[in-house]
Amino acid sequence: MSKFLLPFSEGRTSRSLFSSTGMLVSSFFLAAFVSIQNSLIYVLFILGIVVMGGIVARTRWGTVLSLISKIEVIILAWLLIIPLIYGTTVLFQISLPWGTLPVFQEGVERGLLLALRMITIILIFITTLSHMTLSEFIGALKTLQVPTAMLGSLLIMLRFIPLFMEERSQMHNAQILRGYDLGNRWQKIRSLGNLVGTTIDRAFDRSIVVYEAMALRGFGKGSMISETGVKRSDAILLVLLAVLVLSMLFLIPHLELIII
Amino acid sequence: MTCAIDVSHVFFSYDDFRMEDVSLQLHIGEQKVLVGLNGSGKTTLFKLILGLLEPTSGSIHVFEREVTHENLWEIRQDIGFLFQNPNDQLFAPTVWEDVSFGPRNLGLSKSEIDERVRWALEIVDMIGYEERPVNQLSHGQAKRIALAGIIAMRPSILILDEPFTGFDFKMVSNMIEIINKMRQDGVTILYTTHNRFFIENWSDSVAVIENGRIVYDGSTKEAMDQKIVKDNIGDWSGLKHLIRSFNEGIR
């Protein structure tokens, strides 16, 4: 699995109770629901539900968390930048050689909310994807009427991104063996720039060869992707989502009142 | 003998490379090796045969049908092409899906597709790998799966671009066994190699391509005495002398 960029389970079919289409639609719905929440406690509640659901479904947390950790920098950036630029109530000031930098209370709250929303949404998607195979994911998109041409490109992209990453890593290792670390900062930047350029160049070359290989085996002549459809058990997902939304509307406001 | 592939007076050029008046015949049931130095035009010739490139002039016939835009799919069902690097060929998420790609495009029923995939995987000795993601295969396994993806389409001709590159001895024997099985079933073979051993022992005929021109095309037995053939597969005895004299110099 280490060569996979996304957390898909191995093989052609997974043994999930729900169809991949059902899981994907539910995660889209849940993610949309999270994105409109303006209360920290609501987002935390959904996050808790997602984690509990993941535990029940025996999610491979190692893979999921390792992928989330790869995007932590973006989340941290929100957490650190927003408090400096958003709000009017100064919480405290940071002294710098050229002056002071105010940290706003509204910014801290907003940054925390946005970061938590992002973590929850990313967790929802990565956890969902970890319960289906790549084929089921593509099949689910096909069921959702995503155009085949787009899915074909996506399939190739998901197959080749890990390959390019491996190639890039090998080339970087070769640079290290020839003294990459001994160079100054400018030389390092230039080497990395060349590395990225070469990887992209090779990617273009390879995409032509891959297309030729596919054309030789009749690309476009038949149905490349088969739909995964939906299962009756997907109704359970709908019910669970409805329960979650209703509990958010009625239960949590009461809890808030009790806490206050 | 009827020709499986008949390349007749083909001209082709791109950038600085020119292919001039290339003619080559591959007879049904024959195993021919195409020899040439790097950049001599071997892969270009294969691409012309497969209709991936179009000749400036001349004609190419596969089982007496001229390769044209209109019948490309028919031609490609007859020829299986194994790329030198299997990673260029494998693109589906799993082994089963990659091997079944061709049969699915042939419009076969589900049971026929399953039967073809199982048959092809059995030939390449990869039964049990159906669910394995293609990017978790070793080089040798990937090459065998790439070959399975081609033979699952039951082609009459196999074109193999450097089939043994990066193989250890065991993998080479395995690959030879697979190709021999295909030959027993009547499949015609055209392949390239730089290895003198295979040229001498594993081909009926040899064609030599040099700077975009076929400079020799004849039986393997006769080919090994020809200077032009030796020049293109390398003078290995000369290399032995070079190494010996270098070692003696060190001593």
Least confident of A227-231, A249-253, B97-101, B243-247: A249-253
Using the beta-carbon criterion (under 8 Å), do B153 and A163 form an inter-chain contact? Answer: no
End-to-end CA distance of chain A: 47
- pLDDT range class, residue A2, cuts 50, 70, 90: very low
Contact B140, B105 (CB under 8 A): no
Q: How far is B174 from chain A (nearest CA, A)?
A: 23
| pLDDT score of A1 | 39
Domain parsing of chain A, residue ranges: 1-145+230-260, 147-225
| pLDDT score of B187 | 95
Which residue of chain B comes nearest to A206, CA vs CA?
Answer: B88
Q: Is the pLDDT of residue B1 over 70?
A: no
Mean pLDDT, chain A, as a whole number? Answer: 83
Using the beta-carbon criterion (under 8 Å), do B105 and A221 form an inter-chain contact? Answer: yes
Using the beta-carbon criterion (under 8 Å), do B105 and A163 form an inter-chain contact? Answer: no
Using the beta-carbon criterion (under 8 Å), do B134 and A156 form an inter-chain contact? Answer: no
Which distant-in-sequence residues (6+ apart) come within 8 Å of B44 by Cβ? Answer: B12, B17, B19, B53, B212
Q: What is the mean pLDDT of residues A122-126?
A: 94
Q: Is B236 on the interface with A (CB under 8 A)?
A: no
Task: Choose the mutation target among B49, B84, B100, B104 for the interface with A, i.e. most A CBs under 10 Å.
Answer: B104
Contact B26, B3 (CB under 8 A): yes
Q: How far is B130 from chain A (nearest CA, A)?
A: 8
| pLDDT score of A135 | 81
Q: Is the pLDDT of residue A35 over 80?
A: yes
Q: Is the pLDDT of residue A192 over 50?
A: yes
The 8-class DSSP code of residue B173 comes to H
Which residue of chain A comes nearest to B53, CA vs CA?
Answer: A212
Using the beta-carbon criterion (under 8 Å), do A222 and B136 form an inter-chain contact? Answer: no
Size of interface A-B (CB pairs under 8 A): 99
Please give the Cα distance from A184 to A132 (Å, whole number).
45
Contact A103, A84 (CB under 8 A): yes
Please give the Cα distance from B240 to B244 (Å, whole number).
6
Contact B189, B158 (CB under 8 A): yes
Which residue of chain B comes nearest to A213, CA vs CA?
Answer: B89
Please give the Cα distance from B61 to B59 (Å, whole number).
7
Least confident of A12-16, A59-63, B198-202: A12-16
Q: How far is A140 from chain B (nearest CA, A)?
A: 15
Which distant-in-sequence residues (6+ apart) come within 8 Å of B205 by Cβ? Answer: B30, B31, B32, B33, B217, B218, B219, B220, B223
Q: How far is A148 from chain B (nearest CA, A)?
A: 14
Which residue of chain B comes nearest to A5, CA vs CA?
Answer: B135
ipTM over 0.85: no
pLDDT tens for residues A193-215?
Answer: 888 888 887 777 878 888 888 88
Using the beta-carbon criterion (under 8 Å), do B47 and A212 form an inter-chain contact? Answer: yes
Query: Residues 179..198 of B with a Cβ closer than 8 Å to A: which?
Result: none
Please give the Cα distance from B39 to B56 (Å, whole number).
19
Q: Is B89 on the interface with A (CB under 8 A)?
A: yes
Chain A residues close to B77, C-beta within 8 Å: 218
Using the beta-carbon criterion (under 8 Å), do A222 and B153 form an inter-chain contact? Answer: no
Chain B residues close to A223, C-beta within 8 Å: 104
| pLDDT score of A160 | 74
Using the beta-carbon criterion (under 8 Å), do B105 and A134 form an inter-chain contact? Answer: no
Chain B residues close to A157, C-beta within 8 Å: none
Q: How far is B32 from chain A (nearest CA, A)?
A: 21
Contact B167, B140 (CB under 8 A): yes
